[in-house]
Amino acid sequence: MKKVLILGSTGSIGVNALNVIRKFPDKFKVTGLTVNSNISVLKEQIEEFNPEFVVVKDQNKADELAKSIRSKTEVLFGNPGLIEAAQSRDFDILIGAVVGFAGLIPTLEAIKRGKRIALANKETLVVAGEIVTRLVAENGSEIIPVDSEHSAIYQCLIGENLKEVEKLILTASGGPFLNKEKSFFDNATVDEALNHPNWKMGSKITIDSATMMNKGLEVIEAHWLFGLPFDKIDVVIHPQSIIHSMVQFVDGSIKAQLGLPDMKLPIQYALSFPERFENDFMRTNLPLINNLTFFEPDFDKFECLKLAYQVLETGGTAPCILNAANEVAVDKFLKGLIKFSDIPKFINKALNKIENHSNPDIETIIECDKLTRKFVNTLN
Ligand code: NAD
Ligand code: MG
């Protein structure tokens, strides 16, 4: 029986992780759940899974929750609660399903204890990939990716020698604006950008898919997970999202992993690895799908994708600046404060303004994140 702590249990990945865990009551036990503010959903999760503790970011909401539950579940709050959960509570697997920079510090704490990390929170690897991978190696921890592309690559690499990999090929749906002209981006609405053709996800990653920053973040994520340089990580548009990604080897052979666009499978794999558990999830019917197509991405139209490759090449705190600027810009766009086309503009301004530090330690990364947020918040 594996004990599981879910960071971000009320989000799209968190809820799907509980959908997986519910199917395997003899294999997994939920010991802890953490959320930002959605205590009504958390309350239902507590009643069903009876965790030992939960963490709520907001103290008032944590107090409100503590008064209203009957179970013995302990209620912690704030960042100190989140860090305590990762640092000293009992669990075997941490599911990193928080969105954004907020996932970094608790994930690092669990890595220092040698835990398995089922990682959806790609921002953690984007901002601090060097530190994360070093600590994983030093502490005997392991990251099993939940991001579907990286889960696909992970599965393709089983039994292979990394030295014989010629390149990784990340597939991208292209998002809701694949067939729009760049001029459309000035007037694209929040509802249009949130209307993803294949995946139902949280709002931040859905906007990232519309700008293709999501694929850019995934290129950086792949670099740290699999140790390949940026020029060996390609992106190909594949609108059906059936091939989740591929690996091309030095002899020209390509391995791919296929499946329906459903995050339950990569989540389950990150929990069950190295085993595979039988399940009743819907199967992929290839004749029904009938048609799989591929295109080159348009780097001029999707500037965020180009910027992500650039910061990966630059290194240092450049990926942290890109990430923080993107988080703030996406938040402003979602609130209707800026245009869709402002997102890459703001990121560019931040990259030009904020000083880059090479080989940053964690304090430098935290400071860089703060400075960038402050700067981008002044833009309009
Ligand atoms: P979401 O917005 O649906 O959920 C985010 C969760 O994190 C919620 O439970 C929320 O309470 C919690 N949270 C948010 N801010 C917090 C903070 N400051 N402190 C503590 N908790 C906080 O997001 P999501 O779509 O589930 O995505 C989560 C992560 O997984 C992201 O990094 C995303 O890029 C990645 N991911 C998501 C999908 C997907 O299908 N949704 C696929 C691949 C990767
Ligand atoms: Mg993905």
Residue 264: both structure tokens together: 């339950």
Q: Of the residues 105, 149, 201, 328, which should be mutated to test ligand 1's pocket, given the most ligand atoms within 8 Å of the CB?
A: 201
Mean pLDDT by 10 residues, the chain (380 residues): 98 98 98 96 97 96 93 94 96 98 96 98 98 98 98 98 97 97 97 91 97 98 97 98 98 98 97 98 94 97 98 98 98 98 98 97 98 97
Interacting residues of 346 by C-beta distance below 8 A, sequence separation 6+: 325, 328, 329, 332, 338, 376, 379
* pTM recorded for the entire structure: 0.98
Which atom number of ligand 1 is nearest to the Cα of residue 13?
26
Quick one: pLDDT at residue 293? 97
Beta bridge partner(s), residue 94: 5, 117
Residue ranges per domain, the chain?
2-145, 150-314
Which residues fall in the annotated binding site?
Answer: 10-13, 38, 121-123, 147-149, 173, 196, 202, 209, 214-215, 218
Beta bridge partner(s), residue 35: 56
Which residues fall in the annotated binding site for 1-deoxy-D-xylulose 5-phosphate?
Answer: 122, 148-149, 173, 196, 209, 214-215, 218
Alpha helix locations (H) across the chain?
A: 12-22, 39-49, 59-68, 78-88, 104-112, 122-139, 148-157, 190-193, 203-211, 213-226, 264-272, 286-289, 303-314, 318-334, 342-353, 362-377
Ligand nearest to the CA of 95: 1
Q: Interface pTM (ipTM) of the complex?
A: 0.99
Cα–Cα distances (Å) from 301 to 101, 189, 205, 238, 254, in that order, read 26, 17, 19, 17, 28
Torsion of CA 182, 310, 327, 372, to 10 degrees: -120
Q: How far is the CA of 9 from the centre of ligand 1 (A)?
A: 8
Q: How far is the CA of 99 from the centre of ligand 1 (A)?
A: 3
Q: Per-residue DSSP letters for 197-225?
A: SS----HHHHHHHHHTHHHHHHHHHHHHH
CATH H superfamily, domain 2-145: NAD(P)-binding Rossmann-like Domain (3.40.50.720)
The string of pLDDT tens digits covering residues 10-27 is 999 999 999 999 999 999
Quick one: pLDDT at residue 197? 87
Q: Is residue 123 within 8 Å of residue 103, measured between CB atoms?
A: yes
Angle at CA of residue 84, ends 78 and 86, nearest 5°: 110
